[in-house]
Structures are given as C-alpha cells and as structure tokens.
Structure 1
C-alpha cells in the first residue's frame, strides 16, 4: 500500500517445555497479587524481555528474518540490509550496491548465506534481490515494469517456492511466483483471485501481509476497504477465497497489517489504525479454521500492531509488536498483555527459540530469558 506490509514451520524439540514454562511464568507475573511482590520481583528478573542490540545505524527496519539465536537479517530504508552471525554483537552492512534510493520492507532468509529482499514502491521501485554468499554480492531477480503495481510482501514455502504480492491491478491483487529460490519470477494468472474492494490494498508495514505455512497454504492481509479481509490460497496462489475479519477498516489507514499461522488452521491477525492520534480497538483476531472465520480477541493489544509471530514449539503463545509496545498472548490470541513499551515494527522467531524484533531508529533486539 502506498502509505505502508512470515510464518515458518518449526519442529518440536525438548525446548517446547522451556517455552511453555516461560509463557506460564509471564502469565503468572502479569496476574500476581501485591502480596506476592517478592516472588513477582524474582519472576520479573527471569521473564522474557527484549535486549537491544547496537545496529550502528538509525534507518527504520521493517524487514526482518530470524535464522537462529545467532543469525538474523534486517532490511529497511535507504536500501539498507544488515546481517549478524553472533547474536547481534556485530552487524555487517550487506546492502545491495546502488540501492540507496530503495525502501526494503521484507526479507526472507533461508540460512546464514541465502536471502531474498523486497523493495516496495510504484513501478520500478518494486524490486527483488537475491544473495547466495551472505550479502557479499546480490542479483536483481525482478523489477516491476507495470506502473499500476505496488509490491508489499514476500513469503516462501520452502527454499525454492515462494510468492510476492502487489496491491490490486485491474481490480485484483497481483501475485508473483518463484520456483527456483527467487532467481526468477512470473506473474500468476488472476482467474482464481476474488475482486478487490474499492480502496483495498496490503500494508507494507512489517513484511507480514503475506505469510505461508506448510508446502501450499498462504494468506494475504488487507486494509483500506470497507472491510478488513484475509485471503487464503491452498494451492500456492492459484485460487483464493476471501473472509472478513473483525479488525476495523473503512479507512486507508486501517485494516489487518500482519498475520501469523502456526499450522494450516490456527492463525492470528493484528492491525488497527497506524495513525498515532487514532485509537485502534479490536486490533487483534484469531482463527481456528485456516482463516475461514475470525473471532475478535477478548482482550486485544491496547494499540495498533504491525507485527506478530508464534513462539517456537508453542501452541498457545505469541508476540505482537507495534510503535507503542510488545504484547504477549498465552492462550492462542484470546487475550493479550503488554510486556514492553519500546517501538518495534516487526517480529520473527527461529526454531531454536531465537526471537528478534526491529523497527525505527535502527532498533533491533533479541528476546532474552
């Protein structure tokens, strides 16, 4: 979207217990009575918290990909891409040469060496770059030549198959597809895409307006129209169905900004109104059926949120982030409690429990326990 837009399969390990205990401890801290002050103080010292890492820059990082606790990639304004391989102690500037005028809003990293980054904007400002050597060299693999298109987000099902999405062209969202890891791309036919609403688009706010889970399922988040919707495809983007969500829309600044699915049925949606002077009631929703129906959170985040991710190996715990803070759910998205008031635009977790967040003024942080 002109104004502003990953879900990764994880394997179960013995660390499932660790995550469950952390989530339980956080919930206990948030609901403790004053008489338990000493116990609470001890628990607070052990509860998960963001630890800021010095990125060495002040650009805004709306693109983030967590590979592990040690390795993460961030992408942002002024064509900037950074990578760390030592848990954020040091960051290497691996920006594509000559990209200073581009706005990177999404990045998908497969490992420490391979990544795909998306630049957003009208016409030729929307581009895709790929690296196979940790950012030492980049190849531009796609440049949009249609002035009507504006690409917002990218996602991958595996290391070869992926999709990118554009705001509607000729009344329908446009989908770009790759089957070779982002080396080449093609526009998919739009026969199976429902018509867009008037003013409907995606939000290039944190790289999570297009997310996938498993080998074929993908979801697309929208806003700006009369209703905030989530579109779902079970065949890698060839055919889609649309469902209304409970997140308010009806304005170019409102809608669903980010999605997260822990499997092909259980998903979370967050958003609201990104304007700082506007309230964002009902800023979160959940689905138990792959996005066919959405239920509002009984206790949503207190303000607009632009990023969301499930905690690895957990069936009930997730994090949501936005300019005014970070919220945690331990009941699958029904209720949210604020953990931190720092500003972040996006959040992502790796299978080894490495969770990262990034945002304005070069802010990058790792979740510590």
Structure 2
C-alpha cells in the first residue's frame, strides 16, 4: 500500500462454512521451541526473502541486496549502482534456478534481473506514475513470473512475464475482478502472493480484505471475501500461503492496533473460496508474514510480526508464542530451519 512507505519505514463478514474436508487436525509435534542466531546486521530494513540452490537471498532499502549460503552462513553483499536505484526500497524478491529478481516499492517501479552465475545486473522493467506501488513478486520457473500492486487506474495492478523477466505485460482492468474503492495491498513481507502449480492467490487490504485467485497463472481471476478486519487504511491481509491447491492460511490485522487478534488470521480448505477465522484466545495479533511449515502436511504454521513469533501445531486452533523478538518476514527450507529478516537484522532459526 502506498502509505506503507510513510507508516512502516521504521519497521517497513462472518466466518464462512468450508466445502471440503480439512487435513486431519492432530498435532504434528507435541511442542516446539525456537533457537535464533543472528547471522547479519546491516543498516537496512529487510522485508523480502527467498531461497534457491542452497542460498537465501534478501533485499532492502538503499539498493542493497545479498545472498547467504544456507549451510555455511557465508554472506555476499551487493548494492545497485545507479542513484535512482538506491533511492528505492526493494520489498519484493524472487529467486529461480538461474536468476534473482528485485522489485522496488513506490514510484518508479523498477525490476532488476540478476544472473546468479555472474552477478550481472540488468534493469528489465520501469513503470512511472504517482500511484505506482508494487507489493510482492513470485516466479513459477526461470521464465514465468507475476507481480502485484496497488491500483493505478480502476483496478489493482498485476504484471506478468513469460520470457524470464525481459518483458512484462500489465493485465487489463477488464480481465481482473471489479475494483473496490480504497482497496490496495501491503509491501510488508513479499508475502501477499502465493503460488502452487498453475494457481496464484493475491490478497488485499484497506477498504476490503479479499483473496483474488487465478487457476491459469494470472489469465483469468475470481475474487472471494474473507472475515479479516477491513475498512481502515492499515487494516486487511498482509500475507498468504498455500501448501497445495486446497489448504491456505492468511494473516494481517490492524497495523495501528497490533494487539487485536480477533479477526486477523484465517484458514481455507477449498482453495480460498471460503475462510474460517483461527483461534484468537492465545493467537497472534497483527503479523506481516505466515507460512505452513514444510514437511508437516499442512498441520504446523508459523506467524511472524514486529511483536514476536507464534507457532501452531493444530492448523491455528491453538497457538504458542515462541519469542518476543520481532521480524518482518521469514523463509523456511524444511520443518526445522529457516531465516528471519527485519530491521537491521537477518537471523537463522531452528525449531526443536
């Protein structure tokens, strides 16, 4: 959301019935604790993480980005060279087998393509306009990718590439769900897009908290309401994750009232058509990221925000707070380890 640049630089309906059977709700592990080990500090705010080929990649403000070897912790730091590039925050990142893509939040929107083998950097997309603000980006493979952002005309912004980012096409408003005035999205964690096979889901906030879903990699779209809090400039959905084509989770809340946990997280068992609110009694309030923990058959969930980190082993029916230490985003590579990023900090974590 455009105003996130101002509000978050220092960080930066009723439940519906479900139509398909949930994964069996047994706890995968009886209990979980978390060890956090700082691996990097830098004077940047990091809201974008991805992983491929044994490396975590991150990006932040001042044109800075880098890669962290998952096994050794070795770090390579980079910085974009042009003054225009260094003015922007890079809150979206996508890593494929051979390339890494960075997308800026704000005007202008800039996409850089990095060849991993040589570290060569190429500017492949520029979009100008007072309302331009992209929030998240994902790639299915080396050729096909998608990015999502705030409206610039009468619909939300979706751009796609089918040639490895060399060219991008912006979807026409006639091909997208009808726009709700005041609806936008949040560049809080590069997590308001989730992809699985040909599916892509994107989530919104502000005046509405909706899920937009495409079964054909962004050619056609449907939209679904959610019970997540909406109506305020900083309310809505901040992150979404699907573990298959049926089971999804989302989280957000009210950035101005971070303790409120009544209508900020939900789960779907039918591909995002219907959403059920998760437990609020001991669950997290506002969070900027959420994931299904890999290799747990959709049973375990991690939620991350500036107020701490929470774990659920029961698909959100109950929660345990693991730490008060706050982060903006995370990436897991198996059921035990991953990386967290936030303000001036990147840390490795292990679940036990």
Tell me which interval the TM-score lies in, with the shorter structure as reference length: 0.7 to 0.9
User: In the TM superposition, what is the alpha-carbon distance from 1:23 to its structure 2 partner?
Assistant: 4.5
2:208 is the counterpart of 1:223 = no
2:239 is the counterpart of 1:258 = yes
Q: For 1:58, what is the secondary structure of its paired residue?
A: strand
CA distance, structure 2, for counterparts of residue 109 and residue 48 of structure 1: 29
CA distance, structure 1, for counterparts of residue 230 and residue 117 of structure 2: 40
Partner of 1:189: 172
Q: Structure 1 residues 89-98 or 338-347, which shifts more? A: 89-98
Partner of 1:305: 287
RMSD: 2.4
User: In the TM superposition, what is the alpha-carbon distance from 1:153 to its structure 2 partner?
Assistant: 0.9
Map 1:194-273 to 2 at 5 A.
194-214=177-197, 216-225=198-207, 227-273=208-254
2:51 is the counterpart of 1:66 = yes
Change (3 A) 1:133 1:277: closer
Partner of 1:24: 29
CA distance, structure 2, for counterparts of residue 134 and residue 362 of structure 1: 26
Q: 8 Å contact 2:183–2:204 — kept in the other structure?
A: yes
Give the gaps of 5 or more residues in structure 2: 6-25
TM-score by length of 1: 0.82
Partner of 1:109: 95
Partner of 2:328: 345
Change (3 A) 1:254 1:352: closer
User: In the TM superposition, what is the alpha-carbon distance from 1:283 to its structure 2 partner?
Assistant: 1.7
Q: 8 Å contact 1:55–1:364 — kept in the other structure?
A: yes
TM-score by length of 2: 0.86
Change (3 A) 1:281 1:361: farther
Q: 8 Å contact 2:145–2:162 — kept in the other structure?
A: yes
Q: Structure 1 residues 140-149 or 312-321, which shifts more? A: 140-149
Change (3 A) 1:49 1:129: same
Which has more helix, going by share of residues?
Answer: 1
Q: For 1:342, what is the secondary structure of its paired residue?
A: coil
2:135 is the counterpart of 1:157 = no
CA distance, structure 2, for counterparts of residue 158 and residue 333 of structure 1: 31
Q: For 1:191, what is the secondary structure of its paired residue?
A: helix
Give the gaps of 5 or more residues in structure 1: 6-20, 27-46
Q: 8 Å contact 1:62–1:359 — kept in the other structure?
A: yes
Which has more strand, going by share of residues?
Answer: 2
Count of residues paired in the alignment: 329
1:150-173 CA distances to partner (integer Å, 9 max, x unpaired)? 211111222321111121132211
1:252-286 CA distances to partner (integer Å, 9 max, x unpaired)? 11000000000111100000011266634322100
1:104-150 CA distances to partner (integer Å, 9 max, x unpaired)? 10111124x5211111103x1x1111111257221111111344332
2:68 is the counterpart of 1:92 = no
User: In the TM superposition, what is the alpha-carbon distance from 1:103 to its structure 2 partner?
Assistant: 0.1
CA distance, structure 2, for counterparts of residue 340 and residue 360 of structure 1: 16
Change (3 A) 1:83 1:134: farther
Change (3 A) 1:86 1:54: same
Partner of 1:34: none
CA distance, structure 1, for counterparts of residue 114 and residue 122 of structure 2: 6
2:131 is the counterpart of 1:148 = yes
CA distance, structure 2, for counterparts of residue 354 and residue 161 of structure 1: 28
User: In the TM superposition, what is the alpha-carbon distance from 1:197 to its structure 2 partner?
Assistant: 1.4
CA distance, structure 1, for counterparts of residue 276 and residue 351 of structure 2: 31
User: In the TM superposition, what is the alpha-carbon distance from 1:338 to its structure 2 partner?
Assistant: 1.3
